[in-house]
Amino acid sequence: MQPQSPQTFPRLSIIIPACNEGDTLGQALTTLLKQDYPNLEIILINDRSTDNTGDIVDQLASQDDRIVPVHITHLPPAWLGKVHALHLGSQRATGDWLLFTDADVHFQPGVLKKTIALCLEEQLDHLSVAAEAYSQSFWLDVTLAAFGLLFLNSINASEIGKPESDSFAGNGAFNLVRKSVFDRTAGFAWLRMEVVDDLGLALMMQQAGAWNCLVFGTDEIGLTWYPSLSTMVRGLEKNLFGAAAHYRYSSLFITVVLLWLLNLGWVVAILQQPGSWLWGFGIAAYGCLLLYAWAVWAKLRRFTFGMLLIPVGQLILSVILLRSAFSCWQQQGIVWRGTLYPLQQLKDGQRVKI
């Protein structure tokens, strides 16, 4: 990603919601404050945190006048907390471009200039950058690789940005939008109950006629999405059922059965007598899966040993999906940031269906 720099850079507003991010916010913000972007404001939102996030926000704002601190103490009815924070942040923003990112994302030097220059050079209205997900656990790495492959398939990533394509992509770590086009969308009020707000933003931009692009920036931005597999299991509990099965148990059944067939069928075949046609079919099926995974991750310029066990990772994801659905059924909704959201309210407010 080496676009030509413009003579002048437009004003950029970075919107960062933070809820109980005291352990990660300071280090992540340091990488932003070191950026050399010349016309920058950072809207840092403390969203009802119960730890020291609010104190960190105020301390950082006192040290750097580019930071605009915002403190949320009350959540209106029928709003997801993060979406509400993004809504308030977008209203406070004064930039010609808005970057929506998270409080744990680390930026390499110069990335803001590069991405804005790319948007101006290619006349983009929306740029989503896929980030590096740091992992120190083998089984977490396996599951992240499987999740990434399923996600890229579900959004039809290869078609994004092509003429006449209706594919779109959003990434919570880096969603950069042109403000003038964002103002033509329905806004975050339309997404107030959408659990995948990053994809929801991308959908709104597409509906507003935005020219969008997805790039792989694993050497430019990164984050520890989940520190362990167990935290990933708990973290996806709140949104995987809605994102993957649209809160429908019939869709859940079909999705899980397909995952099991695709990822266990070749295992059963390989266990047959070596040299038989069924054994050969199993070997070929596994080989095709690895080739496809390699082709995808080659675009990311990244290889991990987790790729070799992507079928196992997809089976783990099916279990996480079942757990998410059970939790939603048990609570008749989801609990997110300490608030219970009723299931029917979530169904009525869902906008993204991929």
The per-residue pLDDT for range 206-224, each reduced to its tens digit, is 999 999 999 888 789 999 9
pLDDT of residue 55: 96
Here the CATH number for the domain that contains residue 195 is 3.90.550.10
Distances (CA, A) of 301 to 49, 117, 219, 351: 37, 22, 9, 32
**106-107 and 221-223 beta bridge pairing:** antiparallel
pTM: 0.91
Same-domain pairing of 240 and 334:
yes
How many angstroms separate the CA atoms of 165 and 151, rounded? 18
195 and 277 belong to one structural domain: no
Range of the domain at 82: 12-137+155-228
Both 218 and 245 in one domain: the answer is: no
- Domain boundary (228, 262, 291) is at 228
| ∠ CA 334-138-255, rounded to 5° | 45
Structure token pair of residue 323? 């757990």
- Our count of domains for the chain comes to 2
Domain co-membership, 181 together with 281: no
| Residues of the chain predicted below pLDDT 70 | 1, 266, 268-270, 281, 292-293, 295-306
**Residue 6 maps to a domain:** no
Residues 37 and 160 placed together within one structural domain of the fold: yes
